[in-house]
Amino acid sequence: MSDSLIEESILSRPTYGTLKIVPGLAHYFLADASGAECIIRDVQELPRDMMEKVHILYVPTPGEAALITSLYALGAKRFEHFPTIEEAVAKLGEWLSDAKMGSQLYLAGTEGLVGQGVAKGEECGLDHTAVQCEHRGSLARRVQCVHCKTMIEDVTTQPVKCPTCDLLLLVRDHYSRRLAAFQGVCINAEDPTEEIEIKEVFK
Amino acid sequence: MSASDHLIPVVVSNVVEVNPIIKRFEFKHVNGDELPAFSGGAHIVVEMLDDGTKRKNPYSLMSSPFERDQYAISVRRDDTGRGGSKFMHEQVRPGMQMKISAPVNLFSLDLRARKHLMIAGGIGITPFIAQMTQADKLGVPFELHYAARSVSQAAYMDSLADRFGDHVSCYCDDQGESVDLEVLLSNQPLGTHVYVCGPKGMIERVVETASSLGWPAAHVHFEHFLAPPVGEPFEVHLAKAGIDITVGAEQSLLEAVEASGTPINCMCRGGACGQCETVVVACDGDIMHNDHWLDEEQRAAKQRIMPCVSRFRGKRLELDL
Ligand code: FES
């Protein structure tokens, strides 16, 4: 069972499974600190000679080193870590641009990381059946302000204020796979003076 | 209603002997009209009136999808079959009028593909000729790997190499050449789709190799029409129509049903599309299923039959038709 805290919702709201290594020519992993344990759990089980096929990208939380050491110790063919999801996802794109059919992509961690990894995989020509996702850690959302198109990372509150256009946004369950983001829609368009309490809901 | 119920009257405009076992037939509309549009991989059903027997066989279109003034198919002669290919080879001449169905495509290119990898065995080359013409015009990269028994049997190889150059590789058994599927399928860029048409064993090898290398099933396409086998004649009761029919030795159950005037769906006439699936009302005997539509369990249950390729041996077969 996955340790994800996501509850069932509307259809476009993604749900995730548990990573399971399937036959493939190459196995690409991308995780953040909350998802690192999924990689360790799965890759540890692999026979030594399969390490040649394993490529790992990792986004640690600032200052953390223990998981970097454990991931490195797995002995993958390539292991790199980056301070931000954007950089790691860009590197994933570079790796996948040389990848062959038969490659598998495994994503583990927060929704922001998983969503951007899925979008990159698709952009590089991976079939969705060759991409697996496991949700771990915070439920913080990546939200697009539908009015000014700003991407707001790590949203934990409902509503959230758009840092660019200052509108107060209702964070919807409506998720765009292409943008790897939830949609944020003005909550008080009728009456902008209306006071709405901001609560932390996506922990 | 099936595609083959609305037949198009055509005249045979050309018959070309490609090699000792393969002939190409070209058709034009009797009125000179444009023929229906189609995409690479489509097939038509050709109706053959052979001395009282009406036979309908599916053949892949090999002409350009961008030219609609004529269609071309290639027919490999099979002397042990039901006689359709023999009829085409021996009886069909330029100027003759025939009827064909509108094209249907069960083997189209996946237009999301970043590259098309085509693998052909023998006469399985025909759908790829139209597909390559299409992929070439669309500017999507493609590669054809074509295996044949011998150089002399590798129909169209020279002209394809002329037209498509490096996109085409040929392998002849008698030269000791063969496709290394493992290597070929391990070296395709992400977003490639593979298509295979040829003998059953070849299709199975491609599907198995691709899946063992981790190719997603949605990127693997194959087409294998079965020829309805010949066998002993048998009786069938059609429950709705309330009639008994006899299926001749060289006739398919589908053809016998059609000959009786009973409506029945069909599309590929080769056990591949699932259109003709029919409920078995009663069965005392053995169904030789022959299709690759039903799964093992369904076959064992004897409650479904694919009339286009299946035969029967036993006391009584009653169908929901
Ligand atoms: S007509 Fe296609 S399976 Fe019978």
Would you list the domain boundaries of chain A? 26-135, 141-200
* A50 interface with B at CB cutoff 8 Å: no
- Cβ atoms of residues B150 and B224 within 8 Å: no
Ligand 1 center to residue A4 CA distance, Å? 46
How far apart CA A124 and CA A117 sit, in angstroms, is 11
Which residue type occupies B130?
A
pLDDT, tens digit (0-9, with 9 covering 90-100), for B21-36: 999 999 999 999 999 9
Q: Which two tokens stand for residue B303?
A: 């409650």
The rounded Å distance from CA B225 to ligand 1 centre is 9
- Could you say which of 3.40.640.10, 3.40.190.10, 3.40.50.720, 3.40.50.80 is the CATH number of the domain covering A26-135? 3.40.50.80
Q: Where are the beta strands (DSSP E) in A4-50?
A: 26-32
Q: What's the pTM value of the predicted model, to 2 decimals?
A: 0.87
- Say how far apart CA B247 and CA B51 lie, in whole Å: 17
Cβ atoms of B111 and B139 within 8 Å: the answer is no
Task: Answer whether A20 touches B (CB < 8 Å).
Answer: no
Res B1 pLDDT > 80: no
Spell out where B208-256 has E strands.
220-223, 234-238, 243-247
Interface test with A, best of B112, B206, B215 (most A CBs within 10 A): B215
Nearest CB to A124; choose among B185, B190, B213: B190
* Burial class of residue A130 (count of CB atoms within 10 Å of its CB; 0-12, 13-18, 19+): buried
Q: How many other CB atoms are found less than 10 A from the CB of residue B243?
A: 13
Could you give the CA distance from residue A184 to residue A149 in angstroms, rounded to a whole number? 9
Q: Which pLDDT tens digit goes with each residue over A164-184? A: 999 999 999 999 988 889 999
Give the 3-state secondary structure of residue B221: strand
Distance from CA of A47 to the nearest CA of B (A): 17
Q: Given the CA of residue B265, which atom of ligand 1 is nearest to it? A: 1
Average pLDDT over residues B231-239: 96
Q: What is the pLDDT of residues A14-73, one digit of tens each?
A: 888 999 999 999 999 999 999 999 999 999 999 999 999 999 999 999 989 999 999 999
Neighbours of A97 (CB within 10 A): 12
The type of residue at A138 is S
